[in-house]
Each structure stands twice: as C-alpha cells, then as structure tokens.
A and B are shown apart, each in its own frame.
Chain A
Amino acid sequence: MRYIISLLIILSIQSTPAQYAYKAIDAYNKADYPAAIVLWEKELKTKNCNKAQAYSLLGNAYFKNKNFAHAIANYEKSLRENYNQEDVKFNIKVIRAKLGLDTENKILFTNDYLRKVSFLLSGFTLKLLIIILSCLLLAYNTYRFFKGDLKFGFLKNYLFAFTLVLLCLYFLQEQFRYEKGFAIISIESTGYENMNLKGESKALRVGEMVKVLDEIGVTIQVETEANKHYWIQKSNVIYI
C-alpha cells in the first residue's frame, strides 16, 4: 500500500502541470529573458501545454530580448493555436510597426472572419460538445429505431445539423492550426527572381512574413506580402 501511494506521488509530481511555465514567468519578471526563452521552449514540449499562451509569452520574451523576427514567429504560432487573441495581434502590429513594416499583414490576417469564427470555441470545448451531442443523438436514434419517434423527436435534425457545424468548425480549426508553409524573415536578405540567386533582386526585411512555395537545397522560393515570388536562402527565415 505504501509503495502504491509513493508511486502515485511520484507520478503526480512528474505530471505537475506547467512545471516550466511558472519558472519561465519568474525569469521573465526578473528580466532574465534568455532564461525565460529556454524555459518556455521546454514548457512547449510538455504534454498539456497551453500552446496558445506559451507561444505568446515566448514571443514576449523574444521581443524583450530584441529578437523581433522570433517574437513575430512565436506570436504567429500562438495565433495558430487560438486566433482570437487580440493582445497577440496587437503585439504583432506593434513589432511590425517598429520594424517599419505595414501593420496589416496581408498573409497573416487572411480569412480573418473564418478564423475568428472557427476559434470562437476552443478545441477542447468543441471536442467535448461534439462528443456529448453525438452520444445524445446516437442514443435517441437507437431508441427511435426500436421504439419509434418521441414527441420532440423533430429536434434531432436541428441537433444533428448543429453538431455537424461544430464538427466543421473543429476541422477548420485543425486546418488552421496545422497550416504549414509560412515563414518569417529573420535576417535581412536579398530575394532573387531566379532560383540560382541571380536576376532581379529585392531586399526582404526582417519580420516580413512569407509563404514558402518551393524548396530546393538551401534555397526556398517565397511569396512576399506584395504577392511577388523570390528565391532566398533557407537559413534566413524562421518557419512557423
């Protein structure tokens, strides 16, 4: 019995929620931003991490560490997890403005309304609602199959439609959450129109968000916010 209890205690310690997060917040408050960055990176690897908040707080730490491209990248990741974070969007705009970029990122804020709607409910809430409603529907339909319709049986159609909508929202959310192929320029770099890094060139500024279209070796083709295609060094961007 004693062994079991001690085992339970060990397990509970191991699964202590947010073991790095609080240290990271402490480090941040003490203005030890590099330490905060390391701790948040660790926290993000744990289970049950609140990624939306963790990425946003990591972004704050990067910002304070004057690492603006990384700050933007992490805020973007935070928005992936939960788009309806006005503070994070605000912070992105602030940093972009400080970097001299347009505050309305054309790539970042695409499908703005769709994203807002799909992130109205958190993934967890959506999942829970879908499970409850699905089980309810299944129970009723089973009853109906054998015993016939109940008086309020017509409601099941509405309920069904609602559940489907929730399911769609959930998959949309997943779609947005795992959307890949975007990057933030981390080093001011020259983009070329040709893939052998020749031809017409344009300077891409730090903090600019680009869509990665193609990748060959160490170079990638990106679409800039101005809808232009350039080839740049892969090492000059942070994937998000």
Chain B
Amino acid sequence: MLDKKLFLGYFLLLSSILFSQKGMEIQISAKKIEAGEPLMVVYALSNYNERGMMGKGFEPFELVGGPQVSRSMNTSYINGTMTSSQTNSYTIYLACKKLGKFQVPKQSFQLSDGTAIEAQAIEIEVVKPGSLPRQAQQRQPDPFDPFAAFNDPFAGQPPAGRAQQQNPSALNGAFKDEKEINLSKDIFARIHVDKSKVYIGEPVKASIKIYTSLNSKGFDAEKVPNFNGFWNQDLPLPDKLEMKREVINGKEFVSVEIKKILLYPTKTGTLEITPLKMKTIALVPVMRQKQTTNRQPGSLMEAIMMSMGMSMNTMGVEFKEIPYSFSSGSEKITVLPLPAEAPASFTGGVGKFSFNAYADKKELKTDEALKYRIELSGSGNLPLIEAPKNIWDETIEVYDPILKENYNVQPTISGTKIWNFVAVPHAPGSYTTPSLEFSYFDLEQKKYVTLTAPSTSLTITGKPTKDKEKGKKYGEFNYAKQKIRESSLYSMDSDLPNSAFYGLGVLPLLMALGLGFLPKYERKEERFISGKKISERVIQQMKQAEVYLKENKKEPFYQELTRTYWNYLSHKFKLETSNLSRTNIAEKLREKGVSFELITKMINLIDRSEMGLYTAYGSQAMQELYDDSLNILNDIDKQIV
C-alpha cells in the first residue's frame, strides 16, 4: 500500500497548494463503471480538523475496501507568508452489482468541534460487465492494486507487482519539449555482483535493480540476462517488491530489486552476464503546449493522472506517455581455476563441509538389506557435488542411492545432502563398507581439505545367493581378477618315430591278432613200426582206433578196427562195403598185385580183430593188433598203385 500512499501523498501535495484554505475535494476513479467493478472514491479534506468519517450506508453500493486515511502536511511560503496546510484524504472502494444510474450517498465527516460536514452525492452509471472499452482494465487484476502492471521478466507472469514509481523530484525537471526527452538518466536497470573475481565453485551474489525517477506504466522484460557458465539458484524476494529511495548523483530514485540470484561458476575464464533489456511506458512531465483533449478517463490510473494533469495544466505541465526501452549493461566476472594438485577424491566441492557415513547394521544375513548413508553437510556449492566414489565388494549388490537434499539458500547455500544406499550382501564372510574420502576446496584457507569417513566392518552369515542375471553364484571365482599361471619349466619331449610305432607296435599286434585266430599248428606225425615209416593216410584211417586204444575201450576198439579194414579196402577197390567179402578180398588184392604173403596177413588181421571181440585178450593184444594193422595196411598201401 506504500505506493498508493505515496501516490496520494503526491497528489495531495499538489492539491494542498491549490486548496490552501478549507475545502473538500472528491475524486472518483470513473463516472461509468461496470457492474462488480470497484470504484475508488477519495474524499480529500483540506485544513479541517475532522475526527473521522462517519461510515453511513453506501446503498446501493457495497463497501469493499477502506476507508483508508492518509494525512499530509504542507508548509509553504507564498508571497512572503508561510502557510501551512493539512490534508486528510479518505479513500473508499465501492462496488455495485445492479445496473443503472446510482448515487453514492452523501458522506459526512465529524469535525472536532462536534459539527459535521457533508460531502456531495456522486452520480455513477453502472453498466454491464465488458461493455466498457478499456485497455487499462487488463492490467488491473487486483482492485486494490491498480498498479499491477509490472511483469517480472524472470517469473514470466505478472506477480502482485508494482509499476509506477514516482518521485516528486521528477516534477522539478519537466521537459520543455517532447523531442528533447531523454530518459536514460531517469529510468535504468543495473546488475550488481558482490564479487568480480572468484574461484570456480565460489558463489557470487547478483541482484538486478531497476531505478526510476519517473512515473511509468508497467515494465516488461524484452531480454533476460543469460547466466551461461554458472549454476544459479534464485534467492527469494519478499512477496511484495520492496521499494527503496536511493540518491544517485544527487538525484533521487526509487529502486526495486527485481531479481536476486546466487551464481556458482562452473567454468573458468571471464564469464559475462548479458544485459537485461526492458521496456516501459514512462509518464514524462512535459511543458504544456496545447489544450489537452477532454476525454473520459479510462481507468482509475488515468483518472488520477488526468486529475493531476489538470492540476498540472494549470501550471503548464502535462504528462506524456512515452514508450521507453532500457538495458542494464553486462557484468563480467573473472573465474579463477582451483589449484592444480587436487586430491583424487575431489568431486568439485567448494566451500566448507563436514562428512560422514553410517551403516545401520554390523551383522546381517545374506539377502538382508543394509542401509548405508553418506551425509555431507556444510555450505558451498552443495547442489553440484556428486556422491563420493564408493566401491563395494562385488558380492554386495548396491542399488542406486536415493538423494535427499535440504538447503537453505540464504545467505549462501548451506544444508545437508544425504545419499541413502541399500546394499544387499550375497555371499557370507567378513566385509567392510567402503572407506570413503571426500575432498573440497576451502575458500577461507585457499587449499584442499580431505575428510574421511571410517568404514564399518560387516559380518555376513547365511548361504550364498544367486546372481539374478547370470545365474552365477556370488562369491564365485572371478577369473578376470587373476594373474595367469606362468611356469618356466621346459623339458624335452621324447618321441618315437611313427615308423617305429607302426613297425613295432601296430604290425605285431595285427600279426598276433591273426595268429590268435589260427588253430594250433599240428605237425604231421611220422610213426615208425619195426623200422618202417607208416604212411600218414593210414594213421589218419586208424585215428579213431588209436583213441579207443588209449582209452582202453576194448569193444569199440575192435569194432572200429574191423570197420576201418573194410572201409579201407572198399575205398582202395572203389567198391561198396557190401560187395566185399573175405573171398573176393584175396582176389581183388591179387588183381592189384599184392603179394600172397601180405594177403594172408591181411586176412589173418581181419580174423584177429573179429575174434578179439570175443576173447579175453588184454590191452597188450590190442596194442599188438593196432601196430600190426598199421604195418600191414601201410604195406598194402605201398603195393597198390
């Protein structure tokens, strides 16, 4: 409300000059309003010593705000006499929902002497909403804040902002001609930085301010500054922008800080913040040249401006709306690199930190989750710091950490950053949590500081569990970590030539195989009986008889012998056995040229074998007969050609 009061103060300051004697003036924001639209009514009482406003009814209007009272005193010299005037103004806000022409009822003010004065009734026409063509309407979303025209270039949406800075001093320098207007010294913006030479990661506080010595209607950003090379953190501004009076080069300005930001350089070199470009419509006091056109005020703003204009007119000054663009100028910051010998555990932290790590258990089973927390707290470029490297045994499965950040942004970023890990051991044994190191650059000491967090030893029991992906068990042998096994043993190889192998090995084996299949070699037996060599054929014929002889089987022996004789002879004479008889044997033998003596022996032999069956001759006789048989048959064999 400060601005409004300022504004009214400004207005009343003027009016006090005009109405230095007792008087009352009523100002309304519009004669024609839309239904529901607020109407501002100002009752300005000059030099009355009134106690206050007697809030009578406002029917058919509703009181939506006020009455607000502001007082102003003015002391002035006019024609050598000092006059002092006091003006109290009562501002009320009314709204009406009905359509038609209405009167704001007369309002009375009670004076200190008990009497009352009455203000006149004001006639107001209320029309349908939307039927009034007004540009300014859109810029007044808040009925109580008619200057909500300033668009925050950074927020992108109009906040409950403020627009018009006004300063009475502006009136002193009314321009004589529109063409001479040069506002570069009246409205400008500046980027302020608290340091121009910093280390990388060291915060720089920057603020952007608008300075104005004129009234102006709304500020719009055309181009916002570019913070390339910085990580930036907006600092909160008060809900309502704060206006300050500042005197620059002897001229009084109203300054508004529209942006406060913490910048953390992320690269070295000279970084530039590009200028902010804004445009506004400035209300510039110009010496009056022509009668201002009488027109209906479009808005409250305009109404007041017009009223002021009218009052100014009497002094020959009027306000011109001049569109004006201005720029803040760029700001350069030199970023120094950090010293070269950074420790291995340095991850970019600049500031002052403390660091620790905790495990929630010391003894656990396989597949049981271990909560592990890394905590980093302090002030500095915390948001830019990454989790310290933590290398776990590969049998412990560690999931991605959940990051929890808690910062205060003013005056610099400070707070804590917590990484919560969940680790699941898969193989029993004794392990330790990783021993962590964290290094940062201390801006005060201008050197690196390394902090360590102790590791916790873990005892894990239970059975090893399987790795889901590969189907391998944890705690299994890892070949990739092994060294190769080297030996420098070298011994000569002894080898047999293949020829020797096949000649001495395979060939004998095949021969042995072949021999194994052959029957036993049996040499043809030569028998000599009475110095005579018995032919093989005869021995073959007598083979079975010999077997019986060896077995001393008397009966088969003789039978076999007899059969052998007949078979032998029939084979010799190529006759059937049945055709042979004792008589024709002799004839046949004679025909073949066998000697008579041998024929007799043969006949005798047949007789002996036939008789032997029935005699009690022993084995001796059997041997004799066998030998004789061989002998005689052999002889016959020789004689028969």
Contact = CB atoms under 8 A, between A and B. Distances in A.
Interface of A: 17-18, 21-22, 25, 28-29, 48-54, 57, 60, 63, 87, 90-91, 93-98, 100, 103, 123-124, 127-128, 130-131, 133-135, 137-138, 140-142, 144-146, 148-149, 156, 160, 163-164, 167
A31 to B, nearest CB: 12
B491 interface: yes
Contacts of B487: 57, 87
Interface string B498-534: 0011001111110111011010110000000000000
Contact of B484 (A52, A63, A124, A127): A63
A219 B173 CA distance: 92
A137 B512 contact: yes
A127 B521 contact: no
Contacts of B495: 48, 123-124, 127
Contacts of A51: 493
Interface stretch (B74-82, B89-97, B475-483): B475-483
Interface in B588-633: none
Contact of A28 (B488, B494, B512): B488
Given A130-B506, A144-B515, 9 more contacts: A22-B490, A94-B479, A94-B484, A123-B495, A130-B501, A133-B509, A138-B511, A138-B515, A167-B505
Contacts of A146: 520-521
Nearest to A125: B494
A25 B488 contact: yes
Nearest to B504: A131
User: B interface, by DSSP: helix, strand, loop or mixed?
Assistant: loop
Interface in B152-177: none
A94 B480 contact: yes
Given A90-B485, A91-B485, A97 B478 contact: yes
Contacts of B480: 94, 97-98, 100
A138 B494 contact: no
B492 interface: yes
Contacts of B505: 127, 130-131, 134-135, 167
B490 A145 contact: no
Given A48-B493, A54-B490, A135-B508, A60 B501 contact: no
Contacts of A141: 511-512, 515-516
A104 B505 CA distance: 38
A167 B484 contact: no
A210 to B, nearest CB: 21
A218 to B, nearest CB: 33
A67 B441 CA distance: 43
A63 B485 CA distance: 11
A225 B130 CA distance: 80
B489 to A, nearest CB: 7
Contacts of B513: 160
Contact of B489 (A53, A124, A128, A160): A53
A106 to B, nearest CB: 15
Nearest to B481: A97
Contact of A48 (B486, B492, B508): B492
Interface of B: 478-480, 482-496, 500-501, 504-509, 511-513, 515-516, 518, 520-521
A91 B484 contact: yes
List of 4 A-B pairs having minimum Cβ-Cβ separation, nearest first: A97-B479, A50-B493, A97-B480, A141-B515
Contact of A160 (B500, B507, B512, B518): B512
Interface centre among B479, B493, B509 (most CB of A within 10 A): B493
Nearest to B516: A141
A29 B493 contact: no
B479 A103 contact: yes
Contacts of A63: 484
B491 A53 contact: yes
A156 B516 CA distance: 9
Nearest to A146: B521
A71 to B, nearest CB: 8
B566 to A, nearest CB: 35
A97 B496 CA distance: 39
A94 B483 contact: yes
A216 B493 CA distance: 38
B485 A25 contact: no
A57 B488 CA distance: 7
A131 B493 contact: no
A208 to B, nearest CB: 16
A60 B484 contact: yes
Contacts of A49: 493
A61 B560 CA distance: 88
Contacts of A95: 484
Given A98-B480, A145-B518, A148-B520, A131 B496 contact: yes
7 contacts: A49-B493, A50-B493, A53-B489, A98-B480, A131-B504, A134-B508, A149-B520
B159 to A, nearest CB: 58
B486 A127 contact: no
A54 to B, nearest CB: 7
Contacts of A148: 520
A149 B488 CA distance: 53
A96 to B, nearest CB: 7
A25 B490 contact: yes
A21 B490 contact: yes
B505 to A, nearest CB: 4
